[in-house]
Structure 1
Amino acid sequence: MKNVDAVILAGGQSSRMGVPTKALLQLGNTTLLDHVTRRLACQVNRLSISGSQEYLGNADYPIIEDAVERFSGPLAGLYSAMVYPQVSDSEYLLVVPCDGPFLPNNLVSELYTQITSEDADIACIRYQKVNQTTFSLWHRRGLPAIETALVKNNNGGFKPLLSELTTTYLDWPEEEINPFFNINTPDDLSFAEAIICR
Structure 2
Amino acid sequence: MKNVDAVILAGGQSSRMGVPTKALLQLGNTTLLDHVTRRLACQVNSLSISGSQEYLGNADYPIIEDVVERFSGPLAGLYSAMICPQVSDSEYLLVVPCDGPFLPNNLVSELYTQITSEDADIACVRYQKVNQTTFSLWHRRGLPAIESALVKNNNGGFKPLLSELTATYLDWPEEEINPFFNINTPDDLSLAEAIICR
Instruction: Using the TM superposition, give the Cα deviation of residue 151 of structure 1 relative to its aligned residue in structure 2, in angstroms.
Output: 1.1
Q: CA deviation digits over 1:52-106, x for unaligned, max 9?
A: 0000000000000001022410000000000010010000000000000000000
Partner of 1:86: 86
Distance 2:34 2:119 in 1: 32
Aligned residues: 198
Distance 2:70 2:12 in 1: 12
* TM score, norm. by length of structure 2: 0.99
Secondary structure, in 3 states, of the residue corresponding to 2:7? strand
Distance 1:29 1:167 in 2: 38
Secondary structure, in 3 states, of the residue corresponding to 1:157? coil
Asked if the contact 2:71–2:154 (Cα under 8 Å) also holds between the matched residues in 1, the reply is no
Distance 2:98 2:22 in 1: 7
Distance 1:183 1:32 in 2: 9
Identity %: 96
Instruction: Using the TM superposition, give the Cα deviation of residue 181 of structure 1 relative to its aligned residue in structure 2, in angstroms.
Output: 0.1
Q: CA deviation digits over 1:94-153, x for unaligned, max 9?
A: 000000000000000000000000000000000000000000000000000000000111
Distance 2:132 2:2 in 1: 24
Secondary structure, in 3 states, of the residue corresponding to 2:19? coil
Match status 1:31 vs 2:38 = no
Deviates more, 1:117-126 or 1:69-78: 69-78
Secondary structure, in 3 states, of the residue corresponding to 2:58? coil
Instruction: Using the TM superposition, give the Cα deviation of residue 177 of structure 1 relative to its aligned residue in structure 2, in angstroms.
Output: 0.1
Distance 1:139 1:30 in 2: 32
Distance 1:71 1:49 in 2: 17
Distance 1:193 1:37 in 2: 18
Secondary structure, in 3 states, of the residue corresponding to 1:124? strand
* TM score, norm. by length of structure 1: 0.99
Instruction: Using the TM superposition, give the Cα deviation of residue 166 of structure 1 relative to its aligned residue in structure 2, in angstroms.
Output: 0.1
Structure 1 residues 71 and 20 mapped into 2: Cα distance closer, same or farther (>3 Å)? farther
Q: Structure 1 unaligned runs (5+)?
A: none
Q: CA deviation digits over 1:19-62, x for unaligned, max 9?
A: 00000000000000000000000000000000000000000000
